[in-house]
Amino acid sequence: MKSLTLKAPAKVNYRLDVLRRRPDGYHDLRMIMQRISLCDEITITLSDMPGIRVACGREGVPDGPGNIAWRAADALLKLSGRQSGIDIAITKNIPVAAGLGGGSSDAATVLLGVNELLGLGLSTERLMEIGVTLGADVPFFVFGKTALAEGIGEILTPIEAVPPLWMVIVNPNIPVSTAWVYGSLRLTEGRIGDNIPRFFKGVADVCAVLSNDLETVTISKHPVIGEIKEMLIASGASGALMSGSGPTVFGLFPSEEGALEAARSIGEVSGWFVTVARALV
Ligand code: ATP
């Protein structure tokens, strides 16, 4: 049986500006999105038995059509008119409902993997178009580079110069609903968003853009997020920010040693999910 095993990386947002609410209910955003080395692992296997089967085995993540990876495979099968069976096994390492884009990354990885396994020959652009029908962050993961993301997240411009950096990822194990965060956000009328630089020479340049409009909303409900930011800075991070709609916080470090040391000290006292990840370039 033809089979592929792929890594599905998480992301963090170095920047997240919410510009306006759109008539379709989505929001126009300006984001800087960075893939990181914390990954789910996905094995996709073609089968003679028609149908799509997802095995994930993580509490809170559905195995059937409720899984966004299932819907990604279904979208490609429908488009191609093929009758193949597809088995998808997901090893979930990325915290769920955490602001790290785990589900979107799984979906993008399935789009890329099924396209290859079935020899569909769909372009990256076409897969991104299919991706945005599944979720606003899916095109970014298909794109596969650090990017400025605009629109609802589907208009992507690559950011080429990204310095090597490490981050400590801290998730206090509180699931946060993205819909609740956007629903609770007070928007500033006429916001156009600042100019966002496209070149980052060093960690200081990345720290200069760190900002997330959703942070105050999520912190108002979960003040621990603010405490985690302070702990990261006190442990030597050059900057710290909540990712996406939260609650995960990342702290940036110019060296792996510094990140490992901070992760050790925060992990020891907290009992939270704490890991060190590299920015992927
Ligand atoms: P984002 O930052 O894009 O909002 P997130 O990290 O906050 O993403 P996810 O972990 O992607 O959130 O999952 C959100 C919800 O989607 C969960 O409640 C989960 O049940 C559901 N879900 C469906 N498929 C998956 C999947 N493959 N991985 C994780 N969650 C999934």
Q: What is the largest CA-CA distance in the chain?
A: 56
On whether both 18 and 110 belong to a single domain, the answer is yes
On whether both 100 and 212 belong to a single domain, the answer is no
On whether both 259 and 147 belong to a single domain, the answer is no
Q: How far is the CA of 258 from the centre of ligand 1 (A)?
A: 30
CATH number at residue 142: 3.30.230.10
Atom 1 (ligand 1): residue with closest C-alpha? 101
The position carrying tokens 């799509």 is 52
On whether both 154 and 175 belong to a single domain, the answer is no
Q: Distance (Å, rounded) from C-alpha 207 to C-alpha 253?
A: 10
How many structural domains does the chain have? 2
Q: Distance (Å, rounded) from C-alpha 225 to C-alpha 181?
A: 14
State residue 164's pLDDT score: 87
Atom 25 (ligand 1): residue with closest C-alpha? 103
Q: What is the DSSP code string of 162-196?
A: ----EEEEEE-S----HHHHHHHPPPPTT------
Q: Is 11 considered catalytic here? A: yes
123, 121, 142: which is closest to 131 by C-alpha? 142
Binding residues: 95-105
Enclosing domain of residue 192:
166-278
61 Cβ closer than 6 Å to some ligand 1 atom: yes
69 Cβ closer than 6 Å to some ligand 1 atom: yes
State residue 18's pLDDT score: 94
Q: How far is the CA of 103 from the centre of ligand 1 (A)?
A: 4
On whether both 171 and 153 belong to a single domain, the answer is no
Binding residues for ATP: 95-105
Q: What is the pTM of this model?
A: 0.96
- ipTM, two decimals, is 0.94
On whether both 170 and 80 belong to a single domain, the answer is no
CATH number at residue 232: 3.30.70.890
State residue 193's pLDDT score: 67
Q: How far is the CA of 78 from the centre of ligand 1 (A)?
A: 23
Low-confidence residues in the chain, pLDDT < 50: none
Q: Is 137 considered catalytic here? A: yes
